[in-house]
Amino acid sequence: MESQVEQLRAVLIALPGGKLMLPNTTVSEIVTYAAPEAVDGKPNWYLGAIRWKGYRLPLVSFSAMAGWDPRESVAGAKVAILKGLSGETRLPYFALLTQGFPRLVNIGSDQLIDDPEHASEFYSSAYLDNDAVAIPNLEAIERLIRDNL
């Protein structure tokens, strides 16, 4: 009897300094970047607020939050609208600045190798077919965003 390899549908998102891997179910939509409304007194990773389907969403830079590269270009940038996981009514969604179009992939459990040496509070680190990827800790990110609303 052959054993079945579990598959995960994921989205790979390019960012300055690395790639994020998110479960496909957390991504609501990818939209074209438009300059956000300025919000004073926020950390450098809090880029402002955008409007999406009647919501006012915080737009954040994961690269700046994770300490990778705070200098993100908006040329060709997209925005990933992510579902909030906490159930918090003040943060049903949030927006993440990305570089280009994310890529949908099917990942087998045998393709992903954990890399705990490079993990942080905001992400776990792994290798996907020899490419480094970060798996964001969405709960920690949401908590940080909520604390800065």
Whether residue 2 lies inside any domain: the answer is no
Say how many Å lie between the first and final Cα of the chain, rounded: 53
Is residue 77 within 8 Å of 97, Cβ to Cβ? yes
Predicted local distance difference test score (pLDDT) of residue 117: 77
pLDDT in tens, 78-93: 999 999 988 878 889 9
pLDDT in tens, 42-81: 999 999 999 999 999 999 999 888 888 766 677 789 999 9
Cα→Cα distances 45→5, 7, 63, Å: 37, 32, 8
| Tokens of residue 91, six digits | 């943060």
Segments forming the whole domain that contains residue 29: 11-147
Whether residue 50 lies inside any domain: the answer is yes
* Sheet of strand 123-128, all strands in order from the earlier edge strand to the far edge: 103-108, 7-15, 18-23, 131-136, 123-128, 112-114
* pTM of structure: 0.86
Whether residue 1 lies inside any domain: the answer is no
- What is the identity of the amino acid at 28? S
Q: How many domains does the chain have?
A: 1
